[in-house]
């Protein structure tokens, strides 16, 4: 198998995913374009060397529809020979895109590819692409569909995480994110989003709330209690998990991932192309995996996919220096730490989506870049990035520095 190396990783800062957000006036195409341009310019890349651009996008309709990866490559003035494909693995789309792009290299079918993703959640709201799972009675019934917030609360209920536990995790995420920003840990990868005049629109994650405290979070009402009770989703969850007497609703806007706009890209290639183009490999992709897990609780996949990827890499959980698990909901991370016995000091050390937001299609490649920066900064070797995924899945990637 050919080794696949990461040569570069970039991301936009994340804008608040609503009409008042800084990136709302920037098209999804432009976000995707600017990260591709950054990859090209930072590496003085002859884009005709790129075989394929794989980009994750979760709501691929309207301006995000019809294969935004190819359209963005064209808009970024890549050589017309560069193909593009958009993929959807829900919240792990950005990481899945990276894995698929890496697979082309590892199988020897491509020399250089780009993985990444884009999501303008303010412009193309979540759910815009419909989907049979929740709506078509046949599958909704068969698979005990519940919205992901109910799944997160179910995790807290089953594994015993209290409101204080999840809120404390959220406060820490904010603290770590601020610390990382203040100390410039993200500077290497974040490329400011610019307007047509070349002026900067946003150069910093704007969802972050460093002033967050346990007290301020305590004032927030649980987000999914009403939906769980009034629409019957708690009952659906209990039918699937009949050992539960009542769901404990602990998640709210302050301990769940933020809705934001953003894009990311990772430059991948084999050893030869790097040498040929004079690029320095930063890390090797050691293994990756995706798995399916129980869809009703939906968000327990990271544990299982991490185990699978570790096994494929011939590693143990303890062999990983740093973990990055998307902070979809606090309980998802707490459960992962509990299941794999991971110290909080080794996971999401720079904060995560609770503080900085989760631009669905882009996040996977963002957190892979973040953890690579952190490995380099701290001189550590191995990292595992993973995300929980809609409909009960998980995707993970293990990298090691070279």
Partner 1 sequence: MTKMENFTIDVDGDGIALITWDMPGRSMNVLSPSSMADIGTWIKQVAEDDAIKGVVLTSGKPAFCAGAELGGMEKAASGDGAPKSEEERVRAMYENNLGFNKLLRTLETCGKPVAAAINGTALGGGLEVTLACHYRVASDNPKTQIGLPESKVGLLPGGGGTQRLPRLIGIANALPLILQGKSLDPQKAMAAGIVHKVVPQAELVDAAKAWIKSDADPVQPWDKKGFKVPGGGPYDKGVSSAFVMGNAMLRKTTQGNYPAQQYIMSCVYEGAQVPIDAGLRIEARYFTKLLMHPASKNMIRSLFLSMQELGKGARRPQGIERAPVKKLGILGAGMMGAGIAYVSAKAGIEVVLLDTDLANADKGKAYSEKLLDKAIERGRSTEEKKQELLSLIKPTTDYADLKDADLIVEAVFENRDIKAEVTKKSEPMLSTGGVFGSNTSTLPISGLATASVRPEMFIGIHFFSPVDKMGLVEIIMGEKTSDVALAKAIDYVGQIRKTPIVVNDSRGFYTSRCFGTYVSEGVAMLAEGIKPALIENAGKQTGMPVPPLAMSDEVALDLAYKVREQTRKDLGDKYEPTAVDGILEEMVIKRGRLGRKNGKGYYDYPEGGKKRLWPGLSEIVAEKDDQPEVEELKTRLLYIQALETARCFEEEVVTDVRDADVGAILGWGFAPYTGGPVSFIDTIGTANFVAECERLAQQYGPRFTPSKLLKEMAEKNETFYGRFNPKATAMAAE
- Spatial neighbors of 396 by CB under 8 A, at least 6 apart, are 95, 288, 289, 290, 302, 305, 306, 308, 309, 384, 385, 386
Rounded Cα distance, 165 and 63, in Å? 40
> Per the structure block, which two tokens stand in for 39?
């990859």
- Altogether, the residues listed in the chain come to a count of 402
* Closer of 79 and 126 to partner 1 (Cβ): 126
Query: Which one of 42, 62, 126, 130 is in contact with partner 1 (CB under 8 A)?
Result: 130
- Spatial neighbors of 373 by CB under 8 A, at least 6 apart, are 9, 185, 186, 188, 189
Q: Which stretch binds partner 1 (CB under 8 A): 8-16, 21-29, 88-96, 130-138?
A: 130-138
Q: Is 345 in the site for partner 1 (CB under 8 A)?
A: no
Query: Which one of 186, 233, 288, 329 is in contact with partner 1 (CB under 8 A)?
Result: 233
388 is catalytic: yes
Q: Is 232 in the site for partner 1 (CB under 8 A)?
A: yes
Q: Is 243 in the site for partner 1 (CB under 8 A)?
A: yes
Binding track, positions 145-184, relative to partner 1; x by CB under 8 A: xx--------------------------------------
Going by C-alpha positions, the residue among 356, 387, 355 that lies closest to residue 171 is 355
Query: In sequence order, which ranges of 17-108 are alpha helices (DSSP H)?
Result: 28-42, 68-75, 93-106
- In angstroms, the Cα distances linking 166 to 19, 56, 151, 358 are 29, 29, 14, 18
| Minimum CB–partner distance for residue 238 and partner 1 (Å) | 6
Q: Is 136 in the site for partner 1 (CB under 8 A)?
A: yes
Rounded Cα distance, 2 and 271, in Å? 9
Secondary structure class of 59 (helix, strand, coil): coil
Residue in 57, 91, 249, 252 annotated catalytic: 91
344 is catalytic: no
- In angstroms, the Cα distances linking 98 to 54, 131, 179 are 7, 24, 28
Q: Is 224 in the site for partner 1 (CB under 8 A)?
A: no
* Closer of 42 and 226 to partner 1 (Cβ): 226
* Closer of 130 and 184 to partner 1 (Cβ): 130
Exposure class string for 97-116: b at 16+ Cβ within 10 A, else e: bbbbbbbbbbeeebbbbbbb
Query: Which one of 89, 123, 207, 238 is in contact with partner 1 (CB under 8 A)?
Result: 238
* Closer of 153 and 324 to partner 1 (Cβ): 153
Query: Which one of 44, 211, 245, 343 is in contact with partner 1 (CB under 8 A)?
Result: 245
Q: CB–CB of 368/10 below 8 Å?
A: no
- In angstroms, the Cα distances linking 127 to 29, 107, 121, 326, 379 are 19, 34, 10, 20, 41
Q: Where in 351-380 is the site for partner 1 (CB under 8 A)?
A: none
C-alpha torsion 328→363→315→293, nearest 10: 50
| Minimum CB–partner distance for residue 167 and partner 1 (Å) | 24
| Minimum CB–partner distance for residue 141 and partner 1 (Å) | 6
| Minimum CB–partner distance for residue 233 and partner 1 (Å) | 5
Q: Is 246 in the site for partner 1 (CB under 8 A)?
A: yes
Q: Is 135 in the site for partner 1 (CB under 8 A)?
A: yes
91 is catalytic: yes
Query: Which one of 168, 201, 244, 277 is in contact with partner 1 (CB under 8 A)?
Result: 244
Q: Which residues are catalytic?
A: 91, 358, 388
Residues that bind partner 1 (CB under 8 A): 130, 134-138, 140-141, 144-146, 231-233, 235-236, 238-239, 242-246
């Amino acid at each position: 198998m050919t080794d696949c190396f990461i040569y570069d990783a970039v991301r936009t800062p994340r804008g608040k995913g609503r009409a008042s957000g800084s990136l709302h006036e920037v098209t999804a195409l432009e976000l995707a374009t600017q990260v591709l341009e950054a990859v090209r310019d930072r590496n003085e890349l002859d884009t005709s060397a790129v075989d394929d651009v794989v980009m994750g996008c979760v709501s691929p309709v309207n301006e995000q529809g019809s294969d935004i990866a190819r359209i963005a490559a064209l808009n970024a003035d890549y050589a017309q020979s560069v193909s593009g494909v958009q993929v959807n693995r829900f919240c792990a789309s950005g990481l899945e895109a990276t894995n698929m792009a890496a697979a082309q290299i590892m199988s020897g079918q491509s020399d250089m590819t780009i993985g990444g993703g884009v999501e303008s959640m303010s412009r193309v709201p979540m759910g815009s692409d419909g989907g049979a799972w929740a709506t078509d009675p046949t599958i909704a019934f068969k698979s005990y569909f519940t919205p992901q917030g109910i799944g997160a609360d179910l995790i807290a209920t089953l594994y015993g995480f209290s409101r204080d536990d999840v809120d404390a995790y959220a406060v820490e995420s904010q603290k770590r994110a601020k610390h990382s920003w203040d100390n410039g840990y993200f500077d290497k990868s974040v490329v400011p989003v610019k307007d047509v005049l070349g002026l900067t629109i946003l150069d910093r994650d704007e969802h972050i709330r460093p002033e967050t405290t346990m007290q301020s979070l305590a004032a927030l009402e649980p987000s999914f209690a009403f939906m769980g009770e009034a629409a019957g989703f708690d009952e659906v969850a209990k039918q699937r998990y009949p050992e539960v007497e009542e769901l404990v609703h602990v998640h709210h806007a302050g301990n769940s991932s933020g809705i934001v706009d953003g894009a990311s890209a990772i430059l991948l290639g084999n050893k030869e192309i790097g040498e040929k183009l004079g690029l320095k490999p930063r890390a090797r992709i050691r293994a990756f995996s995706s798995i399916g897990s129980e869809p009703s609780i939906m968000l327990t996949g990271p544990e299982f996919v991490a185990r699978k990827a570790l096994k494929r890499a011939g590693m143990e959980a303890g062999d990983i220096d740093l973990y990055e698990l998307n902070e979809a909901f606090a309980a998802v991370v707490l459960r992962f730490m509990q299941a794999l016995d991971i110290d909080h000091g080794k996971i999401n050390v720079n904060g995560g989506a609770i503080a900085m937001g989760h631009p669905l299609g882009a996040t996977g490649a963002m957190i892979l870049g973040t953890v690579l920066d952190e490995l380099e900064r701290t001189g550590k070797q191995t990292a595992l990035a993973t995300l929980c995924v809609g409909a009960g899945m998980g995707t993970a990637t293990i990298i090691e520095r070279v």
